[in-house]
Chain A
Amino acid sequence: MSDNDSNKPEGRKPTLPPGMGQPSGKKPTLPPGTGKPAGRKPTLPPGAAKPAARKPAMPPGMKPPGGAPPPGMPSGDGASGLTRADFSSDQDVRWCPGCGDYAILATVQRLMPELGVPRENLVFISGIGCSSRFPYYMNTYGMHSIHGRAPTIATGIKASRPDLDVWMITGDGDSLSIGGNHIIHIMRRNVDLQIIMFNNQIYGLTKGQYSPTSEVGKVTKSTPFGSIDHPFNPIALVLGADSAFAARTMDRDPKHMKTILKQAHEFKGTGFVEVYQNCNIFNDGAFFDFTEKATKSDRAIFFEHGKPLTYAGGTKGLRLNGFHLENIDLESGDWGVDDCLVYDETSRELATILARVYWREDLPQPFGVFYREDRPTYDAQVNDQVQSVIKRSGKGSLEDLLAEGDTWVVG
């Protein structure tokens, strides 16, 4: 058996875990694709004839001439006068062909010129994992650090250099497993930076073990009889840690991704963005229900602040019944758009309810900005405190400090 053979993922979908077919309303721990015939293969081969094929963020040898934006995308010329090509480093991108990471890289490179931030002020900090190779491909300042610790390094640089525009790149294993402690603390501190968390519900770089977001029952190399770990719901997790900005988007909808990333960037504080990202090698099709044409409309809802929760091309909606969201048919005549919940991203209560709509059979998976709360950032406060001490006591004198307290003279 060659190395490559051993890297091949399990050839079958996980068998369904116990607890499947629970009454709806209770949050089930279901694997993706439940509700469909078990063992169903994704309808779409990854990377085939889809927007991904046009992306310049490509494996080596596939690099198209830099800069040309694909049709439908705004040109790269932003306030900084830079183009997308200015943000591509000279390093070959080494992700597997067909990986969802390419779409995220392309979207970020496309977004950069629009931000009006001088390139030298951009810093990308990552941890370890497939996603965390990201900084090497950005022609900005960057650091590929150690597993799980990117939030600490990002906090250190932003606190001491609040003038910089810091982006943190992480994955579901990096941020929710080994780096779990740091992710909750960066949330409560509300450091002014953006976090892009690539969630592929699997460990890619270590070749296919289940991750803290993998569904119960996941069959992987380390769980041949199915995983028994209850998965995290990342948005609910960060909200529980008092995240001030939490959003979800997907690799297969770069337009939505870009909108969300832009909002996260505009937000003063920790902008946490979970991106559903397909790992076509070890967890292919994990999110196809939500991301692929055949099912996306019915299984995903793209919500926005101040707008009613509708989906399926406006034929369905979500209404609030007590503390629960329920699905309403807007074509039956019983319900209208006015019955749908109008989303308010500043409501912690609504954010909590919507975040808990997670892998539900009866409800679509939500994508958008769940929560936004304007509150002071850590970096601003820590520097304000320094300034206020200087204002009160004056700039410190080393000589005075050394001779502080009781002294005496000899000789």
Chain B
Amino acid sequence: MSSKTVETLPEATVLFAGDSGDGMQLTGTQFTLATAHAMNDLATLPDFPAEIRAPVGTTYGVSGFQLHFGSVDIRTPGDEVDLLVSMNPAALVVNLDRVKAGGTILVNSNSFGKKDLSLANLDSNPLEDGSLDRFRVIQVELTRLTRETLKDTDLNQKQIDRSKNMFALGLALWLYSRPIEPAQRWLETKFARKPEIRDANLELLKKGFHFGETTEQFVTRYEVTPATLPPGRYRAVQGVQALAMGIVAAADKSGLPITYGSYPITPASDVLHALSRYKNHGIMTIQAEDEIAAVGMAIGASFGGALGITGTSGPGIALKGEAMGLAHIMELPLVIVNVQRGGPSTGLPTKTEQSDLMQALFGRNGDAPMPVIAASTPGDCFEVAYEACRIAVKYMTPVILLSDGYLANGSAPWLIPDPDSLNDFEVTFAEKANATEDGEDVFHPYIRDEKTLARPWAKPGTPNMEHRIGGLEKADGTGNVSYDAKNHEKMTRLRAEKVERVQQEMKPLEIFGDEDADLLIIGWGSTRGAIEAGVTRALNAGHKAAAVHIRWVHPLPADLGEVLSRYSTYLVPELNNGQLVRILRDEFLLPFEAMKKIQGRPFGPSEIANKIAEMVG
């Protein structure tokens, strides 16, 4: 049917960029869905401004969605962009430096008027002044073609113009030989009650697809064959979705009701949105009046025998600090989710960063350590959420779960897990006296389990187990208020030792890359994909390197010291000003080199590969 040449690519990176009102996130999401259907491996990077509707046409109102897909192993949203779809000059200006030399730029040529150029602070038209000579530029009259297509509908001009992203989507789907059906099905469901809008969008999608076929601007069409992923059933999943499902899995496997208290904050609100739909899975959600109330409600629920969870981002953690200390000293299970964003203060609300690690480790008054677990991929958020819940209950401790904006909003294919494969999650409530006092059987809430050092969890409603807990230091065993000096030291050490014992839950560390290398890269959290892709490139270029990824940032894995002893140089890449690197230096007194990126964006594999080349090349 096609007269075009088809070129097969191992991988490609596409970036949709436009005004925040242009529907770029939606376009990107639909392209992702089609790519998942094409069975490619993929990774995405939605990148949008903090303003909901920034002034039209400005550079600070540009919203982007980057997608990297391939038949090969895809670990990051891509270093350099092969195709930039730019809806206006501002989107072009903001994203031009991400397009690889020789890459393709598809622009809406109707949006390069004088006013559009001036809004993007351009003195001349880049379509005419030669500044795009390095690229292949395809000018499409998106606005005119959209208006033409919909001229016979009853939609008004604004509605028509807002639909042009569907034309662009159709065209991009054609260009990379993606199936059009998933987007069609989505539109049919989404606008089932608005037939006019539905039909207009379906028409544009199709027109865009056909336009690629007929226009002479494209001589080549690309295809990316399915990736060789491990066998099984897959779906595309975003980090927030996976995290929410991990919490559901914890409720399901433990039989514990879960109370999720949260105050809306970017980029953690989507966890609340997702969980609020899962009421029939035993999840109660409460939108609290503030961050402190959100954690307080979770603590109250845990005291009552449910599992309390609270979710937020860095600024919210700052507010919850005192309550987290309370949960620590009371020794109640609690999970605190931090979907990190650029800081400090309000910082960069919609951009990603790993700069709350120190806050997670030390951000409370007193000695109040708690286990800290970090997710490394969107799909990993599922397992990490489940483990955080399990450890919180098993060790009767608050657990901090670190995700970030990149993981939360990013998508990846996900091998749907078998619930039976998850770790056992048994819960035992104390129902009987555990001590004698003056010849009477009594319950002492701070007598510990030998293996985990966890205290018993007796829930209100259980006869003869009445007890009081609180923020004051308590006497070992009885839990009565105690100001005794030696007791305080003992209790502080016991609580810390209990957290250390979470080490016994960890699997041995795995080394990625060349085990015989001199250089070991130590990463944590969402940098895993970039680090491992970077190591792969380095190895292909003949540079020896290995990488180890830390899931539990506190306590550190018991075998980390032994692993480190096998190498002689160390690199610690982080999206912050050097946090894990300080912990490692303190713990192991080895010459760790920091690699810092603080731009609100994830590492690209080439940055890692270049750094490796610099160190070992």
Query: What CA separation (Å) do A251 and B316 show in the bound complex?
Result: 39
Closest approach, in angstroms, between the C-beta of B480 and any C-beta of chain A? 7
In chain B, residues 260-309, which have Cβ atoms closer than 8 Å to a Cβ of chain A?
261, 278-282, 284, 286, 288-290, 292-306, 308
Q: Which residues of A contact B305 (CB under 8 A)?
A: 160-161
Residue on A nearest B249 in the bound complex, by CB: A398
B468-476, B490-498, B564-572: which lies at the interface: B468-476
Query: What CA separation (Å) do A120 and B443 show in the bound complex?
Result: 13
Residue on A nearest B470 in the bound complex, by CB: A144
Closest approach, in angstroms, between the C-beta of B464 and any C-beta of chain A? 7
> Are A181 and B323 also in contact (CB < 8 A) when A120-B464, A125-B300, A161-B306 are?
no
Q: Which residues of A contact B281 (CB under 8 A)?
A: 395-396, 398, 401
> Are A407 and B300 also in contact (CB < 8 A) when A141-B467, A143-B468, A160-B257 are?
no
B37 within 8 A of A: yes
Residues A402 and B470 in contact, CB atoms below 8 Å apart: no
Residues A410 and B234 in contact, CB atoms below 8 Å apart: yes
B500 within 8 A of A: no
| Residue from the list B234, B257, B306, B461 in contact with A408, Cβ < 8 A | B234
B416 within 8 A of A: yes
B84-92, B156-164, B225-233: which lies at the interface: B225-233
Residues B289 and A182 in contact, CB atoms below 8 Å apart: yes
> Are A395 and B233 also in contact (CB < 8 A) when A153-B297, A156-B261 are?
no
Q: Which residues of B contact A185 (CB under 8 A)?
A: 288-289, 293
Residues B308 and A89 in contact, CB atoms below 8 Å apart: no
> Are A135 and B463 also in contact (CB < 8 A) when A149-B292, A409-B232, A411-B231 are?
no
B134 within 8 A of A: no
A68-76, A212-220, A361-369, A386-394: which lies at the interface: A386-394
A65 within 8 A of B: no
B219 within 8 A of A: no
Q: Which residues of B contact A118 (CB under 8 A)?
A: 463
Closest approach, in angstroms, between the C-beta of B196 and any C-beta of chain A? 26
Q: Which residues of B contact A157 (CB under 8 A)?
A: 300-301, 303-304, 460
Closest approach, in angstroms, between the C-beta of B324 and any C-beta of chain A? 10
Q: Which residues of B contact A149 (CB under 8 A)?
A: 292-293, 296, 323
- In terms of DSSP, what is the predominant structure of the interface of chain B? mixed
Residues B300 and A395 in contact, CB atoms below 8 Å apart: no
| Residue from the list B231, B252, B460, B470 in contact with A123, Cβ < 8 A | B460
Query: What CA separation (Å) do A90 and B229 show in the bound complex?
Result: 63
Closest approach, in angstroms, between the C-beta of A165 and any C-beta of chain B? 9
Q: Which residues of B contact A393 (CB under 8 A)?
A: 280
Query: What CA separation (Å) do A143 and B474 show in the bound complex?
Result: 13
> Are A401 and B286 also in contact (CB < 8 A) when A152-B292, A156-B296 are?
no
Query: What CA separation (Å) do A73 and B470 show in the bound complex?
Result: 33
A327 within 8 A of B: no
B236 within 8 A of A: yes
Which residue of A160, A393, A411 has the most chain B CB atoms within 10 A of its CB atom? A160
Residues A160 and B306 in contact, CB atoms below 8 Å apart: yes
Query: What CA separation (Å) do A396 and B231 show in the bound complex?
Result: 27
Q: Number of B residues whose C-beta is below 8 Å from A?
A: 70
Closest approach, in angstroms, between the C-beta of B207 and any C-beta of chain A? 24
Residues A401 and B293 in contact, CB atoms below 8 Å apart: no
B144 within 8 A of A: no
B58 within 8 A of A: no
B419 within 8 A of A: yes
In chain B, residues 407-443, which have Cβ atoms closer than 8 Å to a Cβ of chain A?
416-417, 419
Residues B293 and A410 in contact, CB atoms below 8 Å apart: no
A140 within 8 A of B: yes
Residues B461 and A146 in contact, CB atoms below 8 Å apart: no
| Residue from the list B226, B284, B462 in contact with A386, Cβ < 8 A | B284
| Residue from the list A123, A401, A408 in contact with B39, Cβ < 8 A | A408
B553 within 8 A of A: no
Residue on B nearest A89 in the bound complex, by CB: B468
Closest approach, in angstroms, between the C-beta of B162 and any C-beta of chain A? 25
Residues A408 and B289 in contact, CB atoms below 8 Å apart: no
Query: What CA separation (Å) do A181 and B319 show in the bound complex?
Result: 14
In chain A, residues 97-128, which have Cβ atoms closer than 8 Å to a Cβ of chain B?
118-123, 125, 128
Q: Which residues of A contact B304 (CB under 8 A)?
A: 123, 156-157, 160-161, 164
> Are A410 and B229 also in contact (CB < 8 A) when A143-B468, A152-B296 are?
yes
Closest approach, in angstroms, between the C-beta of A391 and any C-beta of chain B? 9
A142 within 8 A of B: yes
B593 within 8 A of A: no
Query: What CA separation (Å) do A401 and B257 show in the bound complex?
Result: 17
Interchain Cβ contacts within 8 Å, total number: 210
| Residue from the list B233, B467, B471 in contact with A409, Cβ < 8 A | B233
B14 within 8 A of A: no
Residues B245 and A401 in contact, CB atoms below 8 Å apart: yes
Q: Which residues of B contact A406 (CB under 8 A)?
A: 33, 36-37, 182, 235-236
Residue on A nearest B437 in the bound complex, by CB: A90
> Are A144 and B286 also in contact (CB < 8 A) when A152-B296, A160-B257, A406-B37 are?
no
Query: What CA separation (Å) do A155 and B461 show in the bound complex?
Result: 17
Closest approach, in angstroms, between the C-beta of A3 and any C-beta of chain B? 15
In chain B, residues 379-429, which have Cβ atoms closer than 8 Å to a Cβ of chain A?
416-417, 419
Residues B297 and A159 in contact, CB atoms below 8 Å apart: yes
Residue on B nearest A188 in the bound complex, by CB: B289
B322 within 8 A of A: yes
Query: What CA separation (Å) do A324 and B231 show in the bound complex?
Result: 79
Residue on A nearest B478 in the bound complex, by CB: A90
| Residue from the list A141, A160, A403 in contact with B468, Cβ < 8 A | A141
Interface 0/1 of A130-143, CB less than 8 Å to B = 00000110111111
Residue on A nearest B442 in the bound complex, by CB: A90
| Residue from the list B33, B248, B308, B326 in contact with A156, Cβ < 8 A | B308
Query: What CA separation (Å) do A118 and B460 show in the bound complex?
Result: 11
B122 within 8 A of A: no
Q: Which residues of B contact A321 (CB under 8 A)?
A: none
Residues A156 and B230 in contact, CB atoms below 8 Å apart: no
A385 within 8 A of B: yes
Residue on B nearest A378 in the bound complex, by CB: B286
Residues A182 and B468 in contact, CB atoms below 8 Å apart: no
Query: What CA separation (Å) do A402 and B247 show in the bound complex?
Result: 12
Residues A120 and B248 in contact, CB atoms below 8 Å apart: no
Closest approach, in angstroms, between the C-beta of A400 and any C-beta of chain B? 10
Closest approach, in angstroms, between the C-beta of A246 and any C-beta of chain B? 19
Query: What CA separation (Å) do A139 and B281 show in the bound complex?
Result: 35
A382 within 8 A of B: yes
| Residue from the list B229, B235, B300 in contact with A160, Cβ < 8 A | B300
| Residue from the list A89, A136, A410 in contact with B231, Cβ < 8 A | A410
> Are A153 and B296 also in contact (CB < 8 A) when A91-B481, A406-B182 are?
yes
Q: Which residues of B contact A139 (CB under 8 A)?
A: 466
Residues B36 and A390 in contact, CB atoms below 8 Å apart: no
Residues B290 and A153 in contact, CB atoms below 8 Å apart: no
A334 within 8 A of B: no
In chain B, residues 71-109, which have Cβ atoms closer than 8 Å to a Cβ of chain A?
none
| Residue from the list A91, A147, A404, A410 in contact with B232, Cβ < 8 A | A410
Residues A143 and B303 in contact, CB atoms below 8 Å apart: yes
A–B pairs, 19, beta carbons within 8 Å: A120-B460, A120-B465, A122-B460, A123-B460, A136-B470, A145-B296, A145-B471, A146-B326, A153-B299, A157-B300, A159-B259, A159-B284, A159-B301, A160-B284, A160-B301, A164-B461, A185-B288, A402-B416, A410-B39
Known: A158-B300, A159-B301. 12 other contacts (CB 8 A): A120-B466, A141-B460, A142-B467, A152-B296, A156-B296, A398-B248, A398-B249, A401-B281, A408-B36, A410-B230, A410-B231, A410-B232
Q: What is B's interface to A at a CB cutoff of 8 Å?
A: 33, 36-37, 39, 182, 226, 229-236, 245, 248-249, 252, 257, 259, 261, 278-282, 284, 286, 288-290, 292-306, 308, 322-323, 326, 330, 416-417, 419, 459-472, 480-481
When A and B form their complex, which 4 residue pairs have the shortest distance between CB atoms, in order from nearest? A411-B231, A156-B300, A152-B296, A144-B470
Q: What is A's interface to B at a CB cutoff of 8 Å?
A: 89, 91, 118-123, 125, 128, 135-136, 138-147, 149, 151-161, 163-164, 181-182, 185, 382-383, 385-386, 389-390, 393-396, 398-399, 401-411
